[in-house]
Amino acid sequence: MQSPRRQRARRATTRFPTAADWISLSRLPLGAAAWLRPDDPLYVLALMAVAGATDVLDGWVARRMGGDEAGIWLDPLCDKLFVVSTVAAIWFARTPPIELLPLLVSREIVQTATFALMAVVPRLRPRRGFDLRAAYVGKLATVLQFATVAAILFEHASQTPLAVVTGVVGLVAGAYYARRLFLRRLTA
């Protein structure tokens, strides 16, 4: 394992787009593809499985072959765009109860609010850059989002309880990432 300093130096010399960046970018057409058959549960679940595999693969490739500075923000951005596109497609096709939507995307709401606050109040921006690395609570929120989407796709009775759990874990994950960003500002 390389030291963080060596990793930053290696990323600084790596050109965009790297193989890991291309893998991250592959989630964008997958999100668009959700609009082709959003009422077909197996199709959407297959897209979600492929997107999940690309998320694991891009991190693995970045660690093995070297990532770049763009990959630090590109990977989570592609994740969010995939989620938003897929959830929107499902919502228009299935029309589940609207109160499930904010629960399903609670992490994204907190993260968007955090970045909006940083954009409006420059003094809150971290001096040493953004720390957007995945955390276990974020990965758990993603797994719960996928489980909730599957329950919605199959109109399963568990969709509401799953959405509530997803909302709570999403808020915890969003708060964790916000805290990490703000602490980075305060400790720099």
pLDDT in tens, the chain (188 residues): 555 555 555 555 557 688 889 999 999 999 999 999 999 999 999 999 999 999 889 888 888 887 667 777 788 888 889 988 999 999 999 899 999 999 999 998 888 888 788 778 777 666 666 666 778 898 899 899 999 999 999 999 999 999 999 999 999 998 998 888 777 655 55
What percent helix, strand, coil does the chain show, rounded to 5? 75, 0, 25
For the chain, state the CA radius of gyration: 17
CA-nearest of 24, 73, 33, 84 to 52 is: 24
Q: How far apart are CA 76 and CA 177, in angstroms?
A: 12
pLDDT for the residue 49: 94
Q: Can you list the pairs that 5-11 forms with residues at least 24 positions away whose Cβ atoms lie under 8 Å?
A: 10/66, 11/66, 11/67, 11/68, 11/69, 11/71, 11/72
The burial class, CB within 10 Å (0-12 / 13-18 / 19+), for 3 is exposed
Q: How far apart are CA 147 and CA 83, in angstroms?
A: 13
* Residue 2 one-letter amino acid: Q
Q: Confirm if 164 and 178 have CB atoms less than 8 A apart.
A: no
pLDDT for the residue 128: 61
Q: Would you state the structure tokens that stand for residue 137, as one six-digit string?
A: 């609570």
Which residue's entry shows tokens 């070297």?
Answer: 66
Cis peptide leading into 122, omega within 30 of 0? no
* Residue 186 one-letter amino acid: L
What pLDDT, in 10s, does the model give residues 24-72?
999 999 999 999 999 999 999 999 999 999 988 988 888 888 766 777 7
